[in-house]
A and B are shown apart, each in its own frame.
Chain A
Amino acid sequence: MFDACADPKSIEGLTWAFCYLTSAKHLDFYRSFLTVIALLAITAPVALAMGFAGATAARSHIPPVSWLGRTYIWMVRGVPDIVFFLFFVIALDQMIEWTKHQFVCPDWSEPIRQGLEFKVCPQAKVPLGASAQIWHQAYGFLLAVVTFAIVFGAFAANVLYGAMNAVPRAQLETAEAYGMSHRQVFRRVLVPQMWVYALPGLGNLWMILIKATPLLFLLGVKDIVYYARELGGSKTQAYEYPHGDWRLWYFLGLMVFYLCCTRLSEIGLARLTRRLSHGQATAAGEALRKAAA
């Protein structure tokens, strides 16, 4: 990348360290941190939306909708989430390819499940066998995002369902007494008030989501764990930058990265709680009011 780094074998000391840390592979490593942040940034709102839909469905007065919402919420209970992660990635992939297969090659005669194999026609492969490597990676990342959103959506639904039930009954009754319809009560009274009850749970969930991101590695995405293992493994003289087994230091770096993330989130969440408590009918809100008066 830099002129000084043209011949890595002849340099040493600080220059060597600088060249080593700016090698092409390392730049990929730094970019993979963006993958993790992108996953967080996309998954969090999608999971929140799915959780909101799930919690609203569970509160519905129509029995089938309510059952659907409740099943979704309790789905994740009692089962390790990593089972869901491993399961959904294959299940979603097969579902997408099976659906596409029905449309693209309707006159394909062979069965899709032949003994131990799952075979769709070549045109129904997602992404197509001939597409560029980047599409394969993007598809893998997309599957991971959907999987994370489904699993964390169920957690979020559980939290939001509890928060909706925690809003004081009197508030809703007052709104009804003013002649608001169900829909109006939901939108104008219930939803604005529930956030302060949901925040501790959602904050916890955000921390868990951060700590779940290394599982991307298990889903086959080239994330920071993948690069830490690749770059840290001992390199012989055949490589440009030979070194011993440095994986320990790379993982130590990842650990520091995660500790910084969780610490920053803790501080941010504390501030958000304070702001949301403002003017609420809770102990924290009352304390804020007294401090101001």
Chain B
Amino acid sequence: MTCWETIQAYGLRSIGIGENLLPKTDFTLCQQFTLIGSGLIWNIYFGALALFFGFFLANAVALAKAARNPWVRKPAEWFVFVFRGSPLFIQFFLAYEALVLLPKAGIDILGLHVNTSWTTRAWAGALFVLFLNTAAYSAEIFYGALKSIPKGDLEAAEAYGLTGWNRFIRIEWPTMLRLGWPAYTNEAIFLFHATTLVFFSGFPAFAQKGDALYYANYFADKTFNPFVPYPIVAFYFILLTLAVTAVYGAVNTRLNRHLPSNRRQRIRLRPNLIR
């Protein structure tokens, strides 16, 4: 089989298109690159969707945490504490076990029949956990940024007669995003890294449709040689990290476009790996 044929057979294997059986013997470098790359589709799917939905929840939670009313503030504080204080690995297990306990036949709510079997699948269940997890971490970042908005900016807004919603949407929110963005970029990078945990934590991979690390682990188990598949995963993730940094860097430039160029914040990568 030539390499091009391998790519046709396994390029979309992780989403169930192409050859049904995984290679069993004579593993070529091309097969390893193709299958692990195909698994990367799932990492991008989990990471991108969780970040997109998580962004909105994170903003809401950050505002709730900064609220004066304890009925709003306390739940937000607890949400952030629970998701930031416990390992993501345990959260995955817990969510899976909880979802398994839902009745198999579905639930009837107000005459509507809700099917529940899809919730235990990784594409839904794990995405939900990642969504809540990234929302909690990002909320803490945005909360910190909200608290460090310069007092002068708020006073200037008041002097211009901006109050309430207007002040928030035109002064506070953009400044909060601007201040929190470098840290949020790191959060995005490490969320992508965290997606590799999905198929190692309770959520089963149906019909061997897994993520990049799932296939790398498959090859390492079959060949007893960790020195090829894991560096391939590392290579793909370095590319992914560069892509994420580029996208978030572009947003960062836009958020800071009104500032003189020497006062702009640079994005620095900080290690903050496991959740």
A214 at the interface (CB under 8 A from B): yes
Report B104 CB to chain A, min CB distance, Å.
13
Q: Which of B1-9, B83-91, B110-118, B146-154 binds A?
A: B83-91
Q: Is B82 an interface residue (CB 8 A)?
A: yes
Closest-by-CB residue of B relative to A224 is B90
Please tell me if the beta carbons of A82 and B87 are within 8 angstroms of each other in the complex: no
Interface pair B220/A79, CB less than 8 Å apart: no
Which residues of chain A are within 8 angstroms of B189 by Cβ–Cβ distance? 78
Q: How near does chain A come to B252, taking the closest CB pair, in angstroms? A: 18
Contact check, A116 vs B25: say whether CB atoms are below 8 A apart.
Answer: yes
> Does chain A have a CB within 8 A of B261?
no
A69 and B89 alpha carbons, distance in the complex (Å): 31
Stretch at the interface among B59-67, B158-166, B225-233: B225-233
Nearest CB in chain B: distance from A141 CB, A: 18
Interface of A is mostly: helix
Report B201 CB to chain A, min CB distance, Å: 9
Provide the residues of chain B in CB contact with A4, threshold 8 Å: none
| Bound: A217/B201 CA distance, A | 10
Question: In the assembled complex, how far is the CB of residue B211 from the closest CB belonging to chain A, in whole angstroms?
Answer: 10
- Looking at chain A, what size class is its interface with the partner chain? 35 or more
- State whether B98 touches A214 (Cβ < 8 A): no
Question: How far apart sit A186 and B114, CA to CA, in the bound complex (Å)?
Answer: 66
Contacting residue for A252 out of B94, B226, B233, CB 8 A: B94
Partner of A77, one of B89, B98, B225, B271: B271
Residues of A within 8 A of B97 (CB): 232, 245, 247-248, 251
B21 adjacent to chain A (CB < 8 Å): no
Is A187 an interface residue when CB atoms closer than 8 A count as contact? Answer: no
Q: Are B269 and A82 in contact (CB under 8 A)?
A: no
Which residue in chain A gives the minimum CB-CB distance to B192?
A80
Q: Do A245 and B273 contact each other (CB < 8 Å), given the known contacts A82-B200, A259-B85, A262-B86?
A: no
> Do A248 and B226 touch across chains, with their CB atoms under 8 A apart?
no
Number of B interface residues in the complex (CB < 8 A): 46
Rounded to whole Å, the gap between the CB of B94 and the closest CB of chain A is 4
Residues of B contacting A94 with CB < 8 Å? 224, 226
Among A81, A118, A225, A247, contact of B273 (Cβ-Cβ < 8 Å): A81
Which residues in chain A, 260-290, are within 8 Å of chain B measured between CB atoms? 262-263
Q: Check A21 for interface membership: any CB of B closer than 8 A.
A: no
Write out, one digit per residue, whether chain B residues 188-201 have a CB within 8 A of any chain A CB (1) or not (0). Answer: 01000110110010
Chain B residue contacts of A259, Cβ below 8 A: 81-82, 85-86
Chain A residues, CB < 8 A from B200: 82, 218
Cβ-defined contact, B90 with A208, below 8 A: no
By beta carbon, the residue of chain B nearest A93 is B226
A169 at interface, CB cutoff 8 A: no
Task: Enumerate the 5 nearest inter-chain pairs by beta-carbon distance, A residue then B residue, closest first.
Answer: A80-B193, A262-B85, A87-B230, A211-B87, A78-B241
Could you give 15 example pairs across A and B, Cβ below 8 Å? A78-B242, A81-B273, A82-B200, A86-B213, A86-B216, A116-B222, A116-B224, A155-B273, A211-B275, A215-B274, A248-B98, A251-B90, A251-B94, A255-B82, A255-B91
